């Protein structure tokens, strides 16, 4: 998914840094990101991750299974852009 989001961003001329990480690495990287997308299979972690992210002003969202299951980088990028816009 991360590679497809990077490709979609490149196609649109948007500079982003998208990295895939495991749920066990969240706290190691939370202070260096703007938003955090969680795979739908990790929805059960959403509240916990929101609490971890709150002091860092990081937006958190669960990816929509519709675009996640098809690895649709365009739809995922749109979701990320909405999160970033909400943060402003």
Decide: pTM greater than 0.95: no
DSSP state of 34: S
Residue 20 CA to residue 28 CA, distance in Å, equals 13
Over residues 28-47, the pLDDT tens digits come to 999 999 899 999 999 999 99
pLDDT, tens only, 4-32: 999 999 999 999 899 999 999 999 999 99
Number of domains the chain contains: 1
Range of the domain at 8: 2-87
Query: How far is the first Cα of the chain from the last one, in angstroms, to the nearest whole number?
Result: 25
Q: What is the CATH number of the domain that holds 68?
A: 3.40.50.2300
What is the C-alpha separation between 40 and 36, in angstroms, rounded?
13
**Where does residue 60 rank: exposed (0-12), middle (13-18), buried (19+ CB within 10 A)?**
buried
């Amino acid at each position: 998914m991360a590679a497809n989001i990077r490709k979609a961003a490149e196609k649109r001329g948007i500079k982003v840094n998208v990295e895939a990480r495991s749920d066990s690495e969240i706290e190691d990287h939370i202070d260096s990101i703007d938003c955090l997308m969680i795979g739908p299979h990790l929805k059960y972690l959403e509240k916990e991750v929101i609490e971890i992210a709150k002091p860092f002003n990081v937006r958190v969202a669960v990816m929509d299974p519709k675009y996640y299951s098809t690895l649709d980088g365009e739809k995922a990028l749109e979701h990320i852009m909405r999160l970033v816009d909400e943060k402003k």
